[in-house]
Homo-oligomer: A and B are copies of this chain.
Amino acid sequence: MTYNIAILGASGYTGAELIRLIAGHSSMKIKALGGNSKAGQRMASVFPHLRHMDLPDLVTMEEIDFSQIDLCFCALPHKTSQEVIAKLPKTLKIVDLSADFRLRDPEEYQRWYGNPHAAMEQQAEAVYGLTEFYRDEIRAARLVAGTGCNAATGQFALRPLITAGLIDLDDIILDLKCAVSGAGRALKENLLHAELSEGYHAYALGGTHRHLGEFDQEFSAIAGRPVKVQFTPHLMPANRGILATVYVKGDAQAIHKALQSTYVEEPFIDVLPFGEAPSTRHIRGSNFCHIGVTGDRIEGRAIVVAALDNLTKGSSGQALQNANLMLGIEETEGLMMAPLFP
């Protein structure tokens, strides 16, 4: 059986990544590509790396016949995504890659994103898309909200530790090193090669990054009490990858065991032998997440390092994994490609 797929926002990096992944999928066919600002253009001119594929031209959303579509990926900017999804058929299966349906509490949404929530009805049915922890809900969902790429990385490192009660909940520090494609294809001075290459820096310091909304929601829910982490992202002179260095107070060996037992059956999460550390170069272009644990020289402290590709496991790969579940396809279909190294 072949499922018909639409992608809205196909002219951005996550849209292109979805197309790259679906190109290797055995039972999905791309029927429509929406991209309002570039409607009418051929994908080969927007993304020359996809020129060998037989893809539909970019169209406006209005031109798409959604009655023919089995599942729609929305790779639109936040705020736009809410407005668009509110107008889509109420029965259409949707995986949204924006931030618009990640936060269950609309007040939290407004606090972090500035605008009031514009699709409360859809929010009520949205399932948080961290596949490994919401698998059953996702299978049954109509609308899945893809997680933030930083939020996914931090949660893979921390959820099992919070669940098992292994760490001090009031002393969690996430120092993230994020490659530049996470910022999208926006034309900003700090994303220019001449500014970023050979230069790197922290940003959104002091707890102002929006992905903190997801950390707060999820960690507090697991712990059954408010949990606030410290989270500082850094912009890296690299195109793909997130490396999360997580500092926690707890027993390193117990932490390693908890991660291993949580992920032992997971096809995409790989816990390294104790004392080894992952690198972004070993997950590039893949849906894998590598996690390493080391004990510090100071008794009772551990460092957990997690690495994944922000565009794949952190975004479009996760979206496809969720879509597979929603359509009853094998979860790993189209996602087992090995990382690109070097």
Residues in A52-76 with C-beta less than 8 Å from chain B: 52-53
Asked whether B200 lies within 8 Å of A294 as measured between CB atoms, the reply is no
Residues in B neighbouring A13, C-beta threshold 8 A: 194, 342
A130 within 8 A of B: no
Asked whether A239 lies within 8 Å of B194 as measured between CB atoms, the reply is yes
Asked whether A47 lies within 8 Å of B205 as measured between CB atoms, the reply is no
- How many angstroms between the C-alpha atoms of A272 and B202 in the bound complex? 14
Interface size on A, residues (CB 8 A): 88
Residues in B neighbouring A230, C-beta threshold 8 A: 247, 296, 298, 301, 303
Asked whether B173 lies within 8 Å of A247 as measured between CB atoms, the reply is yes
A228 within 8 A of B: yes
Q: Which residue of chain B is the closest to A171 with respect to CB atoms?
A: B171
Residues in B neighbouring A90, C-beta threshold 8 A: none
Residues in B neighbouring A281, C-beta threshold 8 A: 49, 195-196, 198-201
19 A-B contact pairs sorted by A residue (CB < 8 Å): A20-B341, A47-B341, A49-B338, A50-B338, A51-B290, A181-B342, A187-B188, A192-B192, A198-B280, A198-B281, A199-B281, A201-B280, A202-B243, A206-B275, A206-B303, A207-B298, A212-B297, A234-B243, A234-B245
